[in-house]
């Protein structure tokens, strides 16, 4: 479809009241992110590109940091990494990591996956935190062992487990903890999963990674170091809008109940919503629209780029701006955020 002619990039942020400081702590003793030593903080990825093999610590960051692709003189990275990979500081005589992994803030343990083969995350733990009345979910993956149970209340730095290399694609040499801080997309995730993956079986309930949208912790930690009063809404409102989509309003859309700051007008019931998305796919803001969107989600604007948007948006868009469309994957993702009323 041809995009509507518009250069609208920003959106109106909802008023944000003064909030309690986040006071996030790092999950291990590795503080290289905050002391100017990123190569000592991030676990590397093995990169083989154009005949050169490197151990690239940059691949442990959040964002589009993996799978380089050359376009003429430019190289872009096309694979999205939703968390940050923190390398160990301590290993035993066999090379196994010994670092204790702790909670990044007070909260409640809401999920423990103790079976390493049940997820690409391996053994992982999810902790729910309440920041300004909104739930956020930290996830700690590739653990060697877990030392807590679902339902436990934890304080910041409370031990959750020991760093490891469980899960797909991680060996002992690259042992790390993969850390995310997420928004939850839909409380009816099982229904969405069964629609799109019939017969497959969702093993992880609400805490399946598909239902958790990670924000950029690699930028958030240093930002909090500079401004301890920064809130998550304020942090996300600094993100660049990458594309905007109009969707029919739905009574089954519950993301605004969890994160009311996403909507400047509050929880209204318009005929449609226009949603602003970051390049990562994280929703940044919802604006009510008075016109009906009878044919389903419509892509109305995309950030200009000479590169294929499929490589820039986790496959949610196809084409090159300004001639882009929502892909089947993008439509499935929108069905999770704003499921159509039956």
pLDDT surpasses 80 at 18:
no
How far from 296 is each of 139, 166, 237, 248, 331, CA to CA, in Å? 33, 40, 26, 6, 9
Confidence of residue 5 (pLDDT cuts 50, 70, 90): very low
> In whole angstroms, what is the distance from residue 301 CA to residue 291 CA?
17
pLDDT surpasses 70 at 185:
yes
3 state DSSP class of 58? helix
What pLDDT score does 323 carry? Answer: 92
What pLDDT score does 46 carry? Answer: 96
Is cis: bond before 72, omega within 30 of 0? no
Confidence of residue 4 (pLDDT cuts 50, 70, 90): very low
Q: To the nearest whole percent, how much of the chain has pLDDT over 70?
A: 94
76 burial type by CB count under 10 A (0-12 exposed, 13-18 middle, 19+ buried):
middle
Q: Compute the average pLDDT of residues 46-75.
A: 97
- 123-131/107-113 β-pairing: antiparallel
What pLDDT score does 167 carry? Answer: 95
pLDDT surpasses 50 at 92:
yes
269 compared with 300, residue with greater pLDDT: 300
For the stretch 291-334, pLDDT in tens is 999 889 999 999 999 999 999 999 999 999 889 999 999 999 99
> In whole angstroms, what is the distance from residue 120 CA to residue 167 CA?
5
Cα(first)–Cα(last) distance of the chain, in Å?
26
> In whole angstroms, what is the distance from residue 253 CA to residue 338 CA?
5
What pLDDT score does 119 carry? Answer: 94
pLDDT surpasses 90 at 15:
no
What pLDDT score does 332 carry? Answer: 97
Confidence of residue 17 (pLDDT cuts 50, 70, 90): very low
For the stretch 158-176, pLDDT in tens is 999 999 999 998 999 999 9
* DSSP E strand stretches across the chain: 45-49, 52-56, 63-71, 74-81, 84-86, 100-102, 107-113, 123-131, 134-146, 153-154, 159-163, 177-184, 212-214, 243-248, 272-277, 283-289, 298-302, 317-320, 323-326
- Output the six-digit token pair for 165: 């290399």
What pLDDT score does 14 carry? Answer: 45
51 burial type by CB count under 10 A (0-12 exposed, 13-18 middle, 19+ buried):
exposed
Phi-psi region of 290 (alpha: psi -120 to 50; beta: other; left: phi over 0): alpha
pLDDT surpasses 80 at 44:
yes
Please state which CATH number belongs to domain 38-214.
Answer: 2.70.70.10
pTM for this model (two decimals): 0.93
Report DSSP letters for 251-312, one per residue.
TT--HHHH-GGG-TT-S---SEEEEEE-TTS-EEEEEEESS--TTS-EEEEE---SS-HHHH
| Nearby residues of 24 by Cβ (< 8 Å), 6 or more positions away | 104, 105, 156, 181, 220, 221, 224
| Nearby residues of 146 by Cβ (< 8 Å), 6 or more positions away | 112, 114, 123, 125, 160, 161
Confidence of residue 19 (pLDDT cuts 50, 70, 90): low
Phi-psi region of 36 (alpha: psi -120 to 50; beta: other; left: phi over 0): left
What pLDDT score does 115 carry? Answer: 92
Domain with CATH 2.70.70.10 in the chain: 38-214
């Amino acid at each position: 479809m041809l995009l509507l002619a518009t250069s609208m990039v920003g959106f109106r942020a909802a008023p944000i009241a003064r909030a309690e400081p986040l006071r996030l702590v790092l999950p291990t003793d590795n503080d290289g992110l905050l002391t100017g030593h990123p190569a000592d903080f991030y676990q590397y990825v093995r990169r083989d590109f154009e005949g050169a093999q490197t151990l690239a610590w940059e691949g442990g960051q959040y964002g589009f940091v993996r799978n380089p692709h050359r376009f003429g003189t430019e190289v872009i990275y096309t694979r999205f990494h939703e968390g940050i990979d923190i390398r160990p500081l301590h290993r035993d005589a066999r090379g196994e990591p010994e670092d204790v992994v702790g909670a990044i803030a007070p909260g409640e343990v809401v999920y423990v996956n103790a079976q390493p083969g049940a997820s690409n995350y391996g053994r992982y733990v999810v902790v729910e935190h309440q920041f300004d009345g909104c739930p956020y979910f930290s996830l700690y993956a590739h653990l060697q062992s877990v030392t807590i149970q679902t339902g436990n209340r934890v304080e910041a730095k409370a031990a959750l487990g020991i760093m490891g290399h469980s899960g797909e694609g991680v060996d002992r040499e690259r042992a790390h903890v993969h850390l995310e801080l997420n928004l939850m997309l839909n409380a009816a995730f099982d229904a969405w999963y069964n629609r799109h993956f019939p017969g497959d079986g969702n093993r992880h309930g609400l805490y399946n990674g598909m239902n958790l949208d990670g924000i950029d912790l690699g930028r958030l930690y240093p930002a909090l170091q500079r401004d301890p009063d920064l809130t998550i809404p304020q942090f996300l409102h600094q993100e660049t809008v990458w594309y905007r989509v109009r969707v029919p309003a739905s009574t089954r859309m519950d993301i605004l109940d969890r994160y009311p700051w996403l909507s400047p007008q509050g929880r209204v019931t318009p005929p449609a919503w226009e949603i602003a998305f970051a390049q990562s796919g994280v929703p940044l803001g919802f604006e009510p629209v008075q016109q009906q969107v009878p044919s389903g989600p419509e892509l109305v604007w995309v950030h200009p780029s000479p590169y294929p948007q499929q490589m820039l948006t986790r496959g949610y868009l196809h084409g090159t701006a300004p001639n882009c469309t929502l892909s089947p994957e993008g439509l499935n993702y929108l069905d999770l955020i704003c499921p159509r009323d039956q």
